[in-house]
Amino acid sequence: MGLFILSRRERPDPLQPAWLAAHRRHGFREPLRLTAGDWRLDLFGALNGLGPQLVQRDNGDFAACTGVFFYRGARGTAGLESLLDDFDGERFPWSGSRGHFAVIVCKAGRMFLATDALGGYKVYHDGGRTLLSSSFTALRANLAQATPDAQGAWEYAWNGATYGTRTFIREIRQLRRGSLLTLGPQAEISAEYRLPAADAPQHASIDEAAEDYAARLRALFRVYAAGGGRFRTALSGGYDSRLMLALLLDAGLDPQVYVYGRAGDDDVRVAKAIAAGEGLALEHVDKSQTAPPPSAGHTERAWVRFDGWKNDGLFDSGVDAEDRLLRVPGDVSVLNGSAGEVFRNFFYLPDRRYRARDVVWSFYSRHDPQPMTGAFDAEAYDAAMSADLLAAIGTTAPDDQALTRADIEALYPLHRARYWTARDVGLNQRFGPLLFPYLEPAVFSGTEREPIAWKDYGRLEAKIIERVHPALARYPSAYGFVPADGPDLRYRLKMQLTFLRPTWLRRYSYRLQQRGPLPPRPVWLGDAALSAAGLDPALPHMRALFVPERLRDAEVFNRVCTMELALAGQPLPG
Protein backbone atom coordinates (compact mmCIF):
# COMPACT_ATOMS: atom_id res chain seq x y z
CA MET A 1 0.00 0.00 0.00
CA GLY A 2 1.08 3.63 -0.36
CA LEU A 3 4.31 4.55 -2.14
CA PHE A 4 8.03 4.88 -1.49
CA ILE A 5 10.90 7.07 -2.69
CA LEU A 6 14.54 5.98 -2.31
CA SER A 7 17.23 8.56 -3.03
CA ARG A 8 20.96 8.96 -2.64
CA ARG A 9 21.64 11.38 0.21
CA GLU A 10 23.97 13.40 -2.00
CA ARG A 11 20.98 14.33 -4.19
CA PRO A 12 18.71 17.28 -3.40
CA ASP A 13 15.66 16.40 -1.32
CA PRO A 14 13.35 14.41 -3.68
CA LEU A 15 10.16 15.68 -2.00
CA GLN A 16 9.55 18.56 -4.40
CA PRO A 17 7.27 21.18 -2.76
CA ALA A 18 4.62 21.36 -5.52
CA TRP A 19 4.49 17.56 -5.86
CA LEU A 20 4.21 17.09 -2.09
CA ALA A 21 1.53 19.81 -1.72
CA ALA A 22 -0.62 18.20 -4.42
CA HIS A 23 -0.32 14.79 -2.73
CA ARG A 24 -1.35 16.32 0.59
CA ARG A 25 -4.37 17.99 -1.02
CA HIS A 26 -5.65 14.72 -2.43
CA GLY A 27 -5.29 12.29 0.44
CA PHE A 28 -1.68 11.35 1.16
CA ARG A 29 -0.45 12.01 4.68
CA GLU A 30 3.04 13.13 5.71
CA PRO A 31 5.74 10.60 4.82
CA LEU A 32 7.99 8.78 7.25
CA ARG A 33 11.70 9.31 6.51
CA LEU A 34 14.48 6.86 7.37
CA THR A 35 18.18 7.00 6.46
CA ALA A 36 20.92 4.39 6.30
CA GLY A 37 24.33 4.61 4.72
CA ASP A 38 24.20 6.66 1.53
CA TRP A 39 20.42 6.39 1.11
CA ARG A 40 17.25 7.92 2.47
CA LEU A 41 13.80 6.38 2.31
CA ASP A 42 10.47 8.23 2.28
CA LEU A 43 7.45 6.03 3.05
CA PHE A 44 3.86 7.10 2.42
CA GLY A 45 0.80 5.29 3.73
CA ALA A 46 -2.24 4.48 1.60
CA LEU A 47 -5.02 6.84 0.55
CA ASN A 48 -7.50 4.98 2.77
CA GLY A 49 -5.57 6.12 5.86
CA LEU A 50 -3.57 2.98 6.63
CA GLY A 51 -0.03 3.94 7.58
CA PRO A 52 3.30 2.70 6.21
CA GLN A 53 4.23 -0.94 6.88
CA LEU A 54 7.48 -0.88 8.83
CA VAL A 55 9.34 -2.86 11.51
CA GLN A 56 12.40 -1.41 13.27
CA ARG A 57 14.90 -2.85 15.71
CA ASP A 58 17.09 -1.27 18.33
CA ASN A 59 20.26 -2.07 16.37
CA GLY A 60 19.11 0.11 13.45
CA ASP A 61 17.89 -2.74 11.23
CA PHE A 62 14.50 -2.27 9.62
CA ALA A 63 12.21 -3.68 6.94
CA ALA A 64 9.49 -1.76 5.16
CA CYS A 65 7.17 -2.47 2.28
CA THR A 66 4.66 -0.84 -0.02
CA GLY A 67 2.07 -2.83 -1.92
CA VAL A 68 0.86 -6.05 -0.27
CA PHE A 69 3.46 -8.48 1.11
CA PHE A 70 3.12 -11.97 2.56
CA TYR A 71 6.09 -13.98 3.80
CA ARG A 72 5.89 -17.49 5.20
CA GLY A 73 2.12 -17.10 5.25
CA ALA A 74 2.21 -13.93 7.40
CA ARG A 75 1.02 -10.58 6.11
CA GLY A 76 2.44 -7.07 6.42
CA THR A 77 4.52 -6.31 9.51
CA ALA A 78 4.41 -9.92 10.75
CA GLY A 79 5.89 -11.04 7.43
CA LEU A 80 8.47 -8.25 7.55
CA GLU A 81 9.63 -9.43 11.00
CA SER A 82 10.31 -12.92 9.66
CA LEU A 83 11.98 -11.55 6.54
CA LEU A 84 14.30 -9.39 8.61
CA ASP A 85 15.34 -12.50 10.53
CA ASP A 86 15.94 -14.58 7.39
CA PHE A 87 17.35 -12.13 4.85
CA ASP A 88 21.08 -12.66 4.20
CA GLY A 89 21.71 -9.88 1.68
CA GLU A 90 22.55 -12.37 -1.08
CA ARG A 91 19.19 -13.81 -2.12
CA PHE A 92 15.59 -12.73 -1.80
CA PRO A 93 13.16 -15.49 -0.71
CA TRP A 94 10.73 -15.17 -3.61
CA SER A 95 9.52 -18.74 -3.24
CA GLY A 96 8.26 -18.00 0.28
CA SER A 97 6.69 -14.65 -0.63
CA ARG A 98 3.28 -13.79 -2.02
CA GLY A 99 1.64 -10.54 -3.06
CA HIS A 100 2.89 -7.67 -5.21
CA PHE A 101 5.21 -5.30 -3.44
CA ALA A 102 8.44 -3.44 -2.98
CA VAL A 103 10.39 -4.37 0.15
CA ILE A 104 13.20 -2.20 1.53
CA VAL A 105 15.51 -3.90 4.03
CA CYS A 106 18.29 -2.36 6.09
CA LYS A 107 20.50 -4.94 7.79
CA ALA A 108 23.87 -4.31 9.41
CA GLY A 109 23.93 -0.85 7.85
CA ARG A 110 23.35 -2.10 4.27
CA MET A 111 20.17 -1.31 2.35
CA PHE A 112 18.39 -3.45 -0.22
CA LEU A 113 15.33 -3.12 -2.43
CA ALA A 114 13.36 -6.14 -3.68
CA THR A 115 10.25 -6.41 -5.82
CA ASP A 116 7.80 -9.28 -6.20
CA ALA A 117 8.76 -12.26 -8.38
CA LEU A 118 6.79 -11.17 -11.44
CA GLY A 119 7.82 -7.53 -11.11
CA GLY A 120 4.14 -6.63 -11.16
CA TYR A 121 4.58 -3.85 -8.60
CA LYS A 122 6.36 -1.27 -10.73
CA VAL A 123 9.52 0.53 -9.65
CA TYR A 124 10.79 3.50 -11.68
CA HIS A 125 14.28 4.99 -11.62
CA ASP A 126 16.52 7.56 -13.20
CA GLY A 127 19.35 6.68 -15.56
CA GLY A 128 21.99 6.39 -12.85
CA ARG A 129 19.66 4.68 -10.36
CA THR A 130 20.23 7.39 -7.77
CA LEU A 131 16.45 7.84 -7.41
CA LEU A 132 14.02 4.90 -7.29
CA SER A 133 10.33 5.04 -6.54
CA SER A 134 7.00 3.31 -7.00
CA SER A 135 5.77 6.76 -8.07
CA PHE A 136 6.27 7.74 -11.70
CA THR A 137 5.43 11.37 -10.93
CA ALA A 138 8.05 11.51 -8.16
CA LEU A 139 10.68 10.76 -10.81
CA ARG A 140 9.16 13.34 -13.16
CA ALA A 141 9.11 16.02 -10.45
CA ASN A 142 12.86 15.61 -10.02
CA LEU A 143 13.76 16.03 -13.69
CA ALA A 144 15.20 19.31 -14.90
CA GLN A 145 13.70 18.48 -18.29
CA ALA A 146 11.71 15.63 -19.80
CA THR A 147 11.87 14.37 -23.36
CA PRO A 148 9.58 11.82 -24.98
CA ASP A 149 10.79 8.31 -25.63
CA ALA A 150 9.32 7.75 -29.10
CA GLN A 151 8.93 3.96 -28.86
CA GLY A 152 7.53 4.20 -25.33
CA ALA A 153 5.11 6.95 -26.38
CA TRP A 154 3.82 4.90 -29.32
CA GLU A 155 3.49 1.80 -27.13
CA TYR A 156 1.47 3.67 -24.51
CA ALA A 157 -0.70 5.55 -27.00
CA TRP A 158 -1.72 2.47 -28.98
CA ASN A 159 -1.46 -0.32 -26.40
CA GLY A 160 -2.06 1.36 -23.02
CA ALA A 161 1.31 0.55 -21.43
CA THR A 162 5.06 0.63 -22.00
CA TYR A 163 7.15 -2.54 -22.08
CA GLY A 164 10.57 -3.76 -21.01
CA THR A 165 12.56 -1.02 -19.28
CA ARG A 166 10.93 1.85 -21.20
CA THR A 167 8.50 4.52 -20.13
CA PHE A 168 7.24 7.26 -22.43
CA ILE A 169 9.78 9.66 -20.88
CA ARG A 170 13.37 8.98 -21.92
CA GLU A 171 14.84 9.97 -18.55
CA ILE A 172 12.61 7.57 -16.56
CA ARG A 173 13.13 3.79 -16.73
CA GLN A 174 11.37 0.86 -15.05
CA LEU A 175 12.69 -2.43 -13.65
CA ARG A 176 12.03 -5.22 -16.13
CA ARG A 177 11.13 -8.06 -13.73
CA GLY A 178 11.30 -9.14 -10.10
CA SER A 179 14.64 -7.83 -8.85
CA LEU A 180 16.88 -7.57 -5.79
CA LEU A 181 18.98 -4.39 -5.71
CA THR A 182 21.89 -3.71 -3.38
CA LEU A 183 21.93 -0.02 -2.44
CA GLY A 184 25.58 0.86 -2.03
CA PRO A 185 27.50 3.60 -3.82
CA GLN A 186 25.16 2.69 -6.68
CA ALA A 187 21.92 0.70 -6.88
CA GLU A 188 23.08 -2.56 -8.43
CA ILE A 189 20.75 -5.37 -9.52
CA SER A 190 22.23 -8.37 -7.69
CA ALA A 191 19.52 -10.92 -8.57
CA GLU A 192 16.51 -11.26 -10.85
CA TYR A 193 13.71 -13.79 -10.55
CA ARG A 194 13.34 -16.25 -13.41
CA LEU A 195 10.29 -18.46 -13.67
CA PRO A 196 11.54 -22.06 -13.36
CA ALA A 197 9.89 -23.85 -16.28
CA ALA A 198 11.14 -27.19 -14.99
CA ASP A 199 8.81 -26.86 -12.01
CA ALA A 200 5.75 -27.04 -14.26
CA PRO A 201 4.14 -30.50 -14.07
CA GLN A 202 2.84 -32.33 -17.10
CA HIS A 203 -0.82 -33.16 -16.58
CA ALA A 204 -2.28 -36.28 -18.10
CA SER A 205 -5.78 -34.84 -18.44
CA ILE A 206 -7.70 -31.59 -18.18
CA ASP A 207 -9.28 -32.86 -14.96
CA GLU A 208 -5.86 -33.51 -13.44
CA ALA A 209 -4.75 -30.01 -14.46
CA ALA A 210 -7.88 -28.44 -12.99
CA GLU A 211 -7.30 -30.30 -9.72
CA ASP A 212 -3.72 -29.01 -9.53
CA TYR A 213 -4.56 -25.36 -10.20
CA ALA A 214 -7.53 -25.51 -7.83
CA ALA A 215 -5.18 -26.79 -5.11
CA ARG A 216 -2.68 -24.00 -5.77
CA LEU A 217 -5.38 -21.34 -5.62
CA ARG A 218 -6.88 -22.82 -2.46
CA ALA A 219 -3.45 -22.70 -0.80
CA LEU A 220 -3.08 -19.04 -1.77
CA PHE A 221 -6.51 -18.15 -0.44
CA ARG A 222 -5.69 -19.87 2.85
CA VAL A 223 -2.77 -17.43 3.11
CA TYR A 224 -5.14 -14.53 2.36
CA ALA A 225 -7.63 -15.73 4.99
CA ALA A 226 -4.93 -16.17 7.64
CA GLY A 227 -3.93 -12.53 7.14
CA GLY A 228 -7.26 -11.44 8.61
CA GLY A 229 -9.59 -8.61 7.70
CA ARG A 230 -12.54 -8.49 5.37
CA PHE A 231 -12.61 -9.17 1.64
CA ARG A 232 -14.41 -7.63 -1.28
CA THR A 233 -14.63 -8.76 -4.88
CA ALA A 234 -16.30 -7.69 -8.08
CA LEU A 235 -18.58 -10.18 -9.81
CA SER A 236 -19.30 -10.17 -13.52
CA GLY A 237 -20.59 -12.47 -16.21
CA GLY A 238 -17.17 -13.98 -16.95
CA TYR A 239 -15.04 -16.68 -15.36
CA ASP A 240 -12.29 -14.84 -13.47
CA SER A 241 -14.43 -13.07 -10.90
CA ARG A 242 -16.61 -16.18 -10.47
CA LEU A 243 -13.52 -18.25 -9.67
CA MET A 244 -12.41 -15.67 -7.09
CA LEU A 245 -15.83 -15.74 -5.45
CA ALA A 246 -15.67 -19.55 -5.43
CA LEU A 247 -12.27 -19.45 -3.71
CA LEU A 248 -13.40 -16.92 -1.09
CA LEU A 249 -16.43 -19.01 -0.21
CA ASP A 250 -14.34 -22.19 -0.21
CA ALA A 251 -11.96 -20.53 2.29
CA GLY A 252 -14.88 -19.92 4.66
CA LEU A 253 -14.95 -16.18 4.08
CA ASP A 254 -18.00 -13.95 3.76
CA PRO A 255 -17.00 -11.50 1.02
CA GLN A 256 -18.63 -8.24 0.08
CA VAL A 257 -19.65 -8.49 -3.58
CA TYR A 258 -20.33 -5.76 -6.12
CA VAL A 259 -20.94 -5.47 -9.85
CA TYR A 260 -20.25 -2.64 -12.29
CA GLY A 261 -22.50 -1.76 -15.22
CA ARG A 262 -25.89 -0.58 -16.34
CA ALA A 263 -28.97 -2.41 -15.21
CA GLY A 264 -29.45 -4.21 -18.52
CA ASP A 265 -25.81 -5.30 -18.99
CA ASP A 266 -25.03 -9.01 -19.17
CA ASP A 267 -22.53 -8.67 -16.32
CA VAL A 268 -25.18 -7.19 -14.05
CA ARG A 269 -27.80 -9.73 -15.06
CA VAL A 270 -25.48 -12.69 -14.39
CA ALA A 271 -24.12 -11.27 -11.12
CA LYS A 272 -27.63 -10.71 -9.80
CA ALA A 273 -28.62 -14.28 -10.69
CA ILE A 274 -25.60 -15.70 -8.85
CA ALA A 275 -26.10 -13.47 -5.81
CA ALA A 276 -29.79 -14.38 -5.58
CA GLY A 277 -29.09 -18.09 -5.98
CA GLU A 278 -26.31 -18.15 -3.39
CA GLY A 279 -27.91 -15.75 -0.91
CA LEU A 280 -25.25 -13.07 -1.28
CA ALA A 281 -25.77 -9.34 -0.82
CA LEU A 282 -24.79 -7.59 -4.06
CA GLU A 283 -23.91 -3.92 -4.48
CA HIS A 284 -24.68 -2.60 -7.97
CA VAL A 285 -22.48 0.33 -9.06
CA ASP A 286 -23.52 2.17 -12.22
CA LYS A 287 -20.72 4.67 -12.82
CA SER A 288 -22.71 6.35 -15.59
CA GLN A 289 -25.24 7.45 -12.96
CA THR A 290 -22.69 8.61 -10.40
CA ALA A 291 -20.30 10.63 -12.53
CA PRO A 292 -19.74 14.16 -11.20
CA PRO A 293 -19.33 17.05 -13.67
CA PRO A 294 -15.68 17.40 -14.77
CA SER A 295 -13.57 20.21 -13.38
CA ALA A 296 -9.92 21.24 -13.29
CA GLY A 297 -9.66 19.81 -9.78
CA HIS A 298 -10.51 16.35 -11.08
CA THR A 299 -7.41 16.35 -13.26
CA GLU A 300 -5.04 17.11 -10.39
CA ARG A 301 -6.78 14.55 -8.18
CA ALA A 302 -6.48 11.91 -10.92
CA TRP A 303 -2.83 12.87 -11.49
CA VAL A 304 -2.10 12.30 -7.79
CA ARG A 305 -4.16 9.19 -7.23
CA PHE A 306 -3.25 7.52 -10.53
CA ASP A 307 0.39 8.59 -10.44
CA GLY A 308 0.37 10.59 -13.66
CA TRP A 309 -0.97 7.92 -16.04
CA LYS A 310 -3.15 4.85 -16.25
CA ASN A 311 -3.97 2.36 -19.02
CA ASP A 312 -6.92 4.25 -20.48
CA GLY A 313 -5.57 7.76 -19.92
CA LEU A 314 -5.78 10.24 -17.07
CA PHE A 315 -8.64 12.46 -18.22
CA ASP A 316 -12.16 11.44 -17.19
CA SER A 317 -15.21 12.59 -15.27
CA GLY A 318 -13.50 12.03 -11.91
CA VAL A 319 -15.66 9.10 -10.82
CA ASP A 320 -12.87 6.50 -11.09
CA ALA A 321 -10.64 8.21 -8.54
CA GLU A 322 -13.53 8.32 -6.06
CA ASP A 323 -14.84 4.82 -6.71
CA ARG A 324 -11.48 3.11 -6.15
CA LEU A 325 -11.12 4.78 -2.77
CA LEU A 326 -14.62 3.67 -1.75
CA ARG A 327 -13.67 0.03 -2.49
CA VAL A 328 -11.02 -0.17 0.29
CA PRO A 329 -12.23 1.26 3.61
CA GLY A 330 -10.39 0.24 6.77
CA ASP A 331 -9.26 -3.38 6.84
CA VAL A 332 -10.99 -4.44 3.60
CA SER A 333 -8.84 -6.17 0.96
CA VAL A 334 -10.16 -6.10 -2.59
CA LEU A 335 -9.49 -8.94 -4.99
CA ASN A 336 -8.78 -8.16 -8.62
CA GLY A 337 -9.38 -10.82 -11.28
CA SER A 338 -6.91 -9.44 -13.81
CA ALA A 339 -4.81 -12.04 -15.64
CA GLY A 340 -7.23 -14.93 -15.25
CA GLU A 341 -6.52 -15.40 -18.95
CA VAL A 342 -3.52 -17.52 -17.91
CA PHE A 343 -6.05 -20.36 -17.96
CA ARG A 344 -7.37 -19.45 -21.42
CA ASN A 345 -6.14 -18.92 -24.98
CA PHE A 346 -5.63 -15.20 -24.54
CA PHE A 347 -4.12 -14.47 -27.95
CA TYR A 348 -6.87 -16.43 -29.77
CA LEU A 349 -4.27 -18.17 -31.90
CA PRO A 350 -4.67 -21.69 -33.33
CA ASP A 351 -2.43 -24.38 -31.86
CA ARG A 352 0.80 -24.01 -33.80
CA ARG A 353 4.17 -22.24 -33.62
CA TYR A 354 4.55 -18.51 -34.28
CA ARG A 355 7.31 -15.93 -34.52
CA ALA A 356 7.47 -13.05 -32.05
CA ARG A 357 6.62 -10.82 -35.02
CA ASP A 358 3.38 -12.80 -35.55
CA VAL A 359 2.34 -12.10 -31.97
CA VAL A 360 3.06 -8.39 -32.48
CA TRP A 361 0.92 -8.39 -35.62
CA SER A 362 -1.82 -10.35 -33.90
CA PHE A 363 -2.06 -8.33 -30.71
CA TYR A 364 0.22 -5.29 -30.52
CA SER A 365 -0.43 -3.66 -33.91
CA ARG A 366 -3.34 -1.51 -32.79
CA HIS A 367 -1.88 1.54 -34.49
CA ASP A 368 -3.15 3.71 -37.30
CA PRO A 369 -0.66 5.47 -39.63
CA GLN A 370 -3.05 8.35 -40.40
CA PRO A 371 -2.49 10.37 -37.19
CA MET A 372 1.25 9.55 -37.00
CA THR A 373 4.02 11.87 -38.11
CA GLY A 374 6.86 10.83 -40.40
CA ALA A 375 8.87 9.89 -37.32
CA PHE A 376 6.92 6.63 -37.07
CA ASP A 377 8.55 3.61 -38.70
CA ALA A 378 6.21 0.61 -38.50
CA GLU A 379 9.01 -1.91 -39.13
CA ALA A 380 11.20 -0.44 -36.38
CA TYR A 381 8.22 -0.30 -34.00
CA ASP A 382 7.38 -3.97 -34.64
CA ALA A 383 11.04 -4.96 -34.24
CA ALA A 384 11.28 -3.20 -30.86
CA MET A 385 8.06 -4.86 -29.66
CA SER A 386 9.36 -8.25 -30.84
CA ALA A 387 12.59 -7.69 -28.91
CA ASP A 388 10.58 -6.90 -25.75
CA LEU A 389 8.58 -10.12 -26.17
CA LEU A 390 11.71 -12.22 -26.52
CA ALA A 391 13.38 -10.53 -23.54
CA ALA A 392 10.31 -11.20 -21.41
CA ILE A 393 10.69 -14.97 -21.83
CA GLY A 394 14.48 -14.85 -21.69
CA THR A 395 15.29 -16.06 -25.17
CA THR A 396 17.84 -14.73 -27.62
CA ALA A 397 16.08 -16.23 -30.66
CA PRO A 398 15.79 -13.88 -33.66
CA ASP A 399 12.33 -12.43 -34.14
CA ASP A 400 11.83 -14.39 -37.36
CA GLN A 401 12.36 -17.76 -35.66
CA ALA A 402 9.27 -19.75 -34.75
CA LEU A 403 8.81 -20.08 -31.00
CA THR A 404 7.35 -23.08 -29.20
CA ARG A 405 3.71 -22.78 -28.25
CA ALA A 406 4.76 -22.84 -24.59
CA ASP A 407 6.87 -19.73 -25.24
CA ILE A 408 3.90 -18.02 -26.91
CA GLU A 409 1.65 -18.84 -23.96
CA ALA A 410 4.29 -17.64 -21.48
CA LEU A 411 4.15 -14.23 -23.14
CA TYR A 412 0.77 -13.58 -21.58
CA PRO A 413 1.86 -13.56 -17.91
CA LEU A 414 5.47 -12.52 -18.55
CA HIS A 415 4.76 -9.67 -20.97
CA ARG A 416 1.13 -8.59 -21.30
CA ALA A 417 0.26 -9.12 -17.61
CA ARG A 418 3.65 -7.98 -16.31
CA TYR A 419 3.35 -4.57 -17.98
CA TRP A 420 -0.22 -3.73 -19.06
CA THR A 421 -2.17 -5.54 -16.33
CA ALA A 422 0.36 -4.79 -13.64
CA ARG A 423 0.22 -1.01 -14.12
CA ASP A 424 -3.04 -1.30 -12.19
CA VAL A 425 -1.29 -3.18 -9.37
CA GLY A 426 0.71 -0.24 -8.09
CA LEU A 427 -2.12 2.20 -8.78
CA ASN A 428 -4.75 0.23 -6.90
CA GLN A 429 -2.40 -0.35 -3.99
CA ARG A 430 -1.99 3.40 -3.54
CA PHE A 431 -5.61 3.35 -2.38
CA GLY A 432 -5.39 0.38 -0.02
CA PRO A 433 -4.79 -3.38 0.01
CA LEU A 434 -5.60 -5.14 -3.26
CA LEU A 435 -4.83 -8.75 -4.11
CA PHE A 436 -4.11 -10.13 -7.59
CA PRO A 437 -4.19 -13.93 -7.25
CA TYR A 438 -3.76 -14.80 -10.94
CA LEU A 439 -0.56 -12.73 -11.15
CA GLU A 440 1.19 -15.03 -8.67
CA PRO A 441 3.88 -17.23 -10.29
CA ALA A 442 2.96 -19.97 -7.80
CA VAL A 443 -0.47 -19.99 -9.49
CA PHE A 444 0.30 -19.51 -13.19
CA SER A 445 3.57 -21.45 -13.46
CA GLY A 446 2.96 -24.32 -15.89
CA THR A 447 -0.13 -22.89 -17.55
CA GLU A 448 2.02 -22.12 -20.58
CA ARG A 449 2.59 -25.85 -21.11
CA GLU A 450 -1.03 -26.99 -21.02
CA PRO A 451 -2.61 -28.07 -24.32
CA ILE A 452 -4.31 -25.22 -26.13
CA ALA A 453 -7.42 -27.36 -26.61
CA TRP A 454 -7.87 -27.28 -22.82
CA LYS A 455 -7.64 -23.49 -22.76
CA ASP A 456 -9.93 -22.85 -25.75
CA TYR A 457 -13.41 -21.59 -24.87
CA GLY A 458 -12.41 -21.36 -21.18
CA ARG A 459 -12.69 -25.12 -20.68
CA LEU A 460 -9.84 -25.39 -18.15
CA GLU A 461 -11.01 -22.44 -16.06
CA ALA A 462 -14.56 -23.78 -16.02
CA LYS A 463 -13.20 -27.07 -14.68
CA ILE A 464 -11.30 -25.23 -11.93
CA ILE A 465 -14.47 -23.39 -10.88
CA GLU A 466 -16.28 -26.74 -10.77
CA ARG A 467 -13.58 -28.22 -8.53
CA VAL A 468 -13.69 -25.34 -6.08
CA HIS A 469 -17.43 -24.61 -5.94
CA PRO A 470 -19.62 -26.83 -8.16
CA ALA A 471 -22.78 -24.74 -7.67
CA LEU A 472 -21.15 -21.60 -9.07
CA ALA A 473 -20.23 -23.46 -12.26
CA ARG A 474 -23.93 -24.10 -12.93
CA TYR A 475 -25.04 -20.48 -13.38
CA PRO A 476 -25.18 -19.01 -16.92
CA SER A 477 -22.37 -16.75 -18.09
CA ALA A 478 -22.26 -13.62 -20.24
CA TYR A 479 -20.92 -15.85 -23.02
CA GLY A 480 -24.38 -17.39 -23.46
CA PHE A 481 -23.73 -20.79 -21.90
CA VAL A 482 -23.27 -22.48 -18.51
CA PRO A 483 -19.56 -23.01 -17.68
CA ALA A 484 -20.10 -26.56 -16.43
CA ASP A 485 -21.81 -27.49 -19.73
CA GLY A 486 -19.16 -25.95 -21.96
CA PRO A 487 -19.61 -23.78 -25.05
CA ASP A 488 -22.49 -24.35 -27.42
CA LEU A 489 -22.12 -24.59 -31.19
CA ARG A 490 -23.02 -20.92 -31.72
CA TYR A 491 -20.20 -19.75 -29.45
CA ARG A 492 -17.69 -22.18 -30.97
CA LEU A 493 -18.48 -20.95 -34.48
CA LYS A 494 -18.19 -17.32 -33.36
CA MET A 495 -14.75 -17.95 -31.84
CA GLN A 496 -13.55 -19.84 -34.89
CA LEU A 497 -13.96 -16.65 -36.91
CA THR A 498 -11.32 -15.10 -34.65
CA PHE A 499 -9.04 -18.14 -34.41
CA LEU A 500 -8.85 -18.53 -38.18
CA ARG A 501 -7.90 -14.93 -39.00
CA PRO A 502 -4.23 -15.01 -40.11
CA THR A 503 -1.81 -12.83 -38.16
CA TRP A 504 -0.91 -10.71 -41.20
CA LEU A 505 -4.59 -9.78 -41.56
CA ARG A 506 -5.04 -9.01 -37.86
CA ARG A 507 -2.28 -6.46 -38.28
CA TYR A 508 -4.66 -4.24 -40.26
CA SER A 509 -7.87 -4.75 -38.25
CA TYR A 510 -7.56 -1.70 -36.02
CA ARG A 511 -6.66 0.79 -38.74
CA LEU A 512 -9.62 -0.37 -40.84
CA GLN A 513 -11.91 0.33 -37.87
CA GLN A 514 -10.57 3.90 -37.66
CA ARG A 515 -11.88 5.10 -41.00
CA GLY A 516 -14.69 7.66 -41.22
CA PRO A 517 -15.39 11.12 -39.82
CA LEU A 518 -13.90 12.23 -36.52
CA PRO A 519 -16.41 11.43 -33.74
CA PRO A 520 -17.13 13.98 -30.96
CA ARG A 521 -14.88 13.75 -27.92
CA PRO A 522 -16.00 13.66 -24.26
CA VAL A 523 -16.14 17.02 -22.54
CA TRP A 524 -13.10 16.17 -20.40
CA LEU A 525 -11.02 15.91 -23.59
CA GLY A 526 -12.21 19.26 -24.96
CA ASP A 527 -9.99 22.31 -25.28
CA ALA A 528 -11.57 23.98 -22.24
CA ALA A 529 -10.88 21.02 -19.96
CA LEU A 530 -7.31 20.66 -21.21
CA SER A 531 -6.65 24.37 -20.76
CA ALA A 532 -8.08 24.28 -17.23
CA ALA A 533 -5.52 21.60 -16.38
CA GLY A 534 -2.73 23.85 -17.65
CA LEU A 535 -2.25 22.18 -21.04
CA ASP A 536 -1.88 23.84 -24.38
CA PRO A 537 -4.68 22.12 -26.41
CA ALA A 538 -2.33 22.12 -29.41
CA LEU A 539 -0.28 19.47 -27.53
CA PRO A 540 3.14 20.83 -28.60
CA HIS A 541 5.23 18.14 -26.88
CA MET A 542 3.42 15.37 -28.72
CA ARG A 543 3.38 16.95 -32.17
CA ALA A 544 6.69 15.44 -33.16
CA LEU A 545 5.06 12.01 -32.90
CA PHE A 546 1.31 12.51 -33.53
CA VAL A 547 -1.08 14.69 -35.48
CA PRO A 548 -3.71 15.01 -32.72
CA GLU A 549 -6.44 16.41 -34.99
CA ARG A 550 -6.50 13.10 -36.88
CA LEU A 551 -6.92 10.85 -33.83
CA ARG A 552 -10.38 9.26 -34.01
CA ASP A 553 -9.99 6.95 -31.02
CA ALA A 554 -10.87 8.96 -27.89
CA GLU A 555 -8.92 6.58 -25.65
CA VAL A 556 -5.75 7.04 -27.71
CA PHE A 557 -6.28 10.81 -27.70
CA ASN A 558 -6.67 10.60 -23.91
CA ARG A 559 -3.30 8.87 -23.62
CA VAL A 560 -1.65 11.42 -25.88
CA CYS A 561 -3.04 14.22 -23.66
CA THR A 562 -1.81 12.29 -20.60
CA MET A 563 1.71 12.17 -22.03
CA GLU A 564 1.53 15.86 -22.89
CA LEU A 565 0.70 16.59 -19.26
CA ALA A 566 3.56 14.40 -18.01
CA LEU A 567 6.03 16.15 -20.30
CA ALA A 568 4.71 19.64 -19.45
CA GLY A 569 4.73 19.06 -15.68
CA GLN A 570 1.94 18.62 -13.17
CA PRO A 571 -1.60 19.97 -13.66
CA LEU A 572 -2.85 23.22 -12.21
CA PRO A 573 -4.50 22.80 -8.79
CA GLY A 574 -8.27 22.91 -8.90
pLDDT per 10-residue tile (average), the chain, 574 residues: 93 95 94 94 93 93 96 93 94 95 94 96 95 97 95 96 97 96 92 74 90 97 91 93 96 92 89 94 79 64 94 89 82 90 91 92 89 94 94 84 92 94 92 94 94 94 97 93 90 81 78 81 91 93 95 95 95 81
Q: Which of 214, 217, 241, 176 is nearest to 414 (CA)?
A: 176
Measure the CA–CA gap between 106 and 226, rounded to whole angstroms: 27
List CB contacts of 511: < 8 A, sequence separation 6 or more.
Answer: 367, 368, 369, 370
What letter would DSSP give residue 80?
H
pLDDT of residue 72: 93
pLDDT of residue 69: 96
Measure the CA–CA gap between 399 and 13, rounded to whole angstroms: 44
Whether the Cβ atoms of residue 444 and residue 413 lie closer than 8 Å to each other:
yes
Measure the CA–CA gap between 251 and 230, rounded to whole angstroms: 12
Phi, psi of 493 (to 5 degrees): -65, -40
pLDDT of residue 261: 87
Whether the Cβ atoms of residue 183 and residue 111 lie closer than 8 Å to each other:
yes
pLDDT of residue 197: 64
Q: Which of 41, 54, 52 is nearest to 187 (CA)?
A: 41
Domains of the chain from N-terminus onward? 3-192 (3.60.20.10), 200-290+331-345+419-497 (3.40.50.620)
Phi, psi of 53 (to 5 degrees): -95, 115
pLDDT of residue 249: 96
* Predicted TM-score of the model (pTM): 0.93
pLDDT of residue 326: 81
pLDDT of residue 574: 66
Q: Which of 382, 348, 331 is nearest to 495 (CA)?
A: 348
From residue 101, alpha-carbon distances to 1, 118, 289, 362, 394 in Å are 8, 10, 34, 32, 23
